[in-house]
Amino acid sequence: MSERIVLAYSGGLDTSVAIGWIAEATGAEVIAVAVDVGQGGESLETIRQRALDCGAVEAYVADAREEFAAEYCMPALKANALYMDAYPLVSALSRPVIVKHLVAAARQFGATTVSHGCTGKGNDQVRFEVGIQTLGPDLKCIAPVRDLALTRDKAIAFAEQKNLPIVTTKKNPFSIDANVWGRAVETGFLEDIWNGPTPDVYEYTSDPASAPAPDEVIITFKEGVPVAIDGKAVTPLQAIEEMNRRAGAQGIGRIDIVEDRLVGIKSREIYEAPGAMALMAAHRELENVTVEREQARFKKTVGQRWTELVYDGQWFSPLKQSLDAFIGDTQKYVSGDIRMTLDKGRPVVTGRRSDSSLYDFNLATYDTGDSFDQSMARGFIELFGMSSKVASGRDQRLAEGK
């Protein structure tokens, strides 16, 4: 049997051309792997048939939307994962689930190599190859754009020469990556960081300035995961999709950032993540009610490191797994309801309730019924400020002796 190469296949121009390009360059048979993580567009069956029509000997397709939402997006929600305090890991989260299916396909079809369509200057090449090396250490990796000189003009010429069943165009202003957690847009005129985004950049969100009347929503969580919206039970996927629709209509989740890529380049990125940003705002507020102070402070540090690891392609690393265990423990009591108003680009929390709340009305109130013993405060302050008081006395004494 000929050598076989598994290709991460999107159904677009570049990966469709890559099927024949890889075959000609290596002499190997190509198995196309398409994974649906909620990117929308064509059906998996249409994509599967196109892969076969473009020369793939096999086509592996997987509807991974529920898996992606439950096993990848929900851990990010629990971690409150925002890279550079802004980016909810839209693309970074989808890569490990795609890697998982690439390696599974390689095992199923006896492939020795896995291929992806990334360039040599982006983050995704690292995410794909580190993940593949971890799950399939015996597998080799190649990237046609990076390793086999497959440029876009060559891809168009190859598609026309071979009469491949795909639409080719030299005028595509943006590079877009989308899934149920959000949408990433880059390149074109956005590479001039003085240029503002134009309305055609956005698809998941409406203009906040022309949003409809404010939308009130109640999100119910159980151990950090949304389980109902306005009293109706939802799966993680349904929760994200519903909040994408409702928060997107209010223009929530637009992000314009100059981002520090793993390879050392600063890159201007536009993201849309209405569901992710609204759910994260609700989740953070419920944590404020239910997570103990010192645990919450330390979780912010853990969450930031978790986010960096996932951004850097270390989803399957031992450290990330250890951090998962800590974050999971912090979510034990993150259950209850958050009421939010979605209004003109902002998710505003207006109510909180939880059976596991640490908020004690009688301790917090300043009115009749106050159970806080204020006589304890004087001694507490004396002890709390003792070390600073002693150090200040030392400083003044030595200063006077000069």
As a CATH number, domain 176-291+333-353 is 3.90.1260.10
Is 95 in the active site?
yes
Whether 171 shows a pLDDT value over 70: the answer reads no
Confidence of residue 245 (pLDDT cuts 50, 70, 90): very high
Determine which of 1-15, 67-81, 340-354 has the lowest per-residue pLDDT on average.
1-15
Report the mean per-residue pLDDT for the chain.
93
- 93-113 burial: b if 16+ Cβ within 10 Å, else e: bbbbbbbbbbbbbbeebebeb
Whole-number pLDDT of residue 154: 85
- Tokens describing residue 116: 């992806």
Using a 10 angstrom Cβ sphere, with 0-12 exposed, 13-18 middle and 19 or more buried, the burial of residue 198 is: exposed
Whole-number pLDDT of residue 169: 62
Residue 24 marked as a ligand binder: no
Tens of pLDDT along 175-215?
Answer: 889 999 999 998 888 999 999 999 999 999 999 999 999 99
Is 339 in the active site?
no
Using a 10 angstrom Cβ sphere, with 0-12 exposed, 13-18 middle and 19 or more buried, the burial of residue 238 is: middle
Whole-number pLDDT of residue 1: 63
Determine which of 21-25, 149-153, 384-388 has the lowest per-residue pLDDT on average.
149-153
- For residues 155 and 203, the model is more confident at 203
Is 175 in the active site?
yes
Whole-number pLDDT of residue 176: 87
- For residues 366 and 172, the model is more confident at 366
Task: Give the whole-angstrom CA distance, residue 65 versus residue 285.
Answer: 27
Tens of pLDDT along 97-143?
Answer: 999 999 999 999 999 999 998 888 889 999 999 999 999 999 999 99
Whole-number pLDDT of residue 53: 94
Whole-number pLDDT of residue 172: 60
Whole-number pLDDT of residue 146: 87
Percent of the chain with pLDDT over 90: 80
Whole-number pLDDT of residue 278: 98
Confidence of residue 287 (pLDDT cuts 50, 70, 90): very high
Whole-number pLDDT of residue 56: 95
Residue 400 marked as a ligand binder: no
Active-site hit among 36, 124, 312, 343:
124
Tens of pLDDT along 300-357?
Answer: 999 999 999 999 999 999 999 999 999 999 999 999 999 999 999 999 999 999 999 9
Whole-number pLDDT of residue 361: 85
Q: What is the 3-state secondary structure (H, E, C) of the chain?
A: CCCEEEEECCCCHHHHHHHHHHHHHHCCEEEEEEEECCCCCCCHHHHHHHHHHCCCCEEEEEECHHHHHHHHHHHHHHHCCCECCCECCHHHHHHHHHHHHHHHHHHHHCCCEEECCCCCCCCHHHHHHHHHHHHCCCCEEECHHHHCCCCHHHHHHHHHHHCCCCCCCCCCCCEEEEECCEEEEECHHHHCCCCCCCHHHCCCCCCHHHCCCCEEEEEEEECCEEEEECCEECCHHHHHHHHHHHHHHCCCCEEEEEEECCCCCEEEEEEECHHHHHHHHHHHHHHHHHCCHHHHHHHHHHHHHHHHHHHCCCCCCHHHHHHHHHHHHHCCCCCEEEEEEEECCEEEEEEEECCCCCCCHHHHCCCCCCCCCCCHHHHHHHHHCHHHHHHHHHHHHHHHCC
Residue 119 marked as a ligand binder: yes
Residues 6+ apart with CB under 8 A from 284: 80
Active-site hit among 4, 48, 65, 95:
95
- Tokens describing residue 201: 């950049």
As a CATH number, domain 4-172 is 3.40.50.620
Is 124 in the active site?
yes
Residue 4 marked as a ligand binder: no
Whole-number pLDDT of residue 144: 87
Whole-number pLDDT of residue 77: 98
Residue with tokens 């201007």: 268
Whole-number pLDDT of residue 388: 97
Active-site hit among 2, 43, 175, 322:
175
Task: Give the whole-angstrom CA distance, residue 131 versus residue 113.
Answer: 13
Residue 355 marked as a ligand binder: no
Residue with tokens 């629709």: 245
Whether 266 shows a pLDDT value over 80: the answer reads yes
Whole-number pLDDT of residue 33: 97
Whole-number pLDDT of residue 173: 63
Task: Give the whole-angstrom CA distance, residue 193 versus residue 366.
Answer: 50
Whether 170 shows a pLDDT value over 70: the answer reads no
- To the question of pTM greater than 0.75 for the whole model, the response is yes
- For residues 175 and 88, the model is more confident at 88
Residue 87 marked as a ligand binder: yes
Residue 60 marked as a ligand binder: no
Task: Give the whole-angstrom CA distance, residue 335 versus residue 240.
Answer: 18
Domain residue extents for the chain: 4-172, 176-291+333-353
Residue 175 marked as a ligand binder: yes
Whole-number pLDDT of residue 372: 85
- For residues 149 and 343, the model is more confident at 343
**Contact yes or no for 230/218 (Cβ under 8 A):** yes
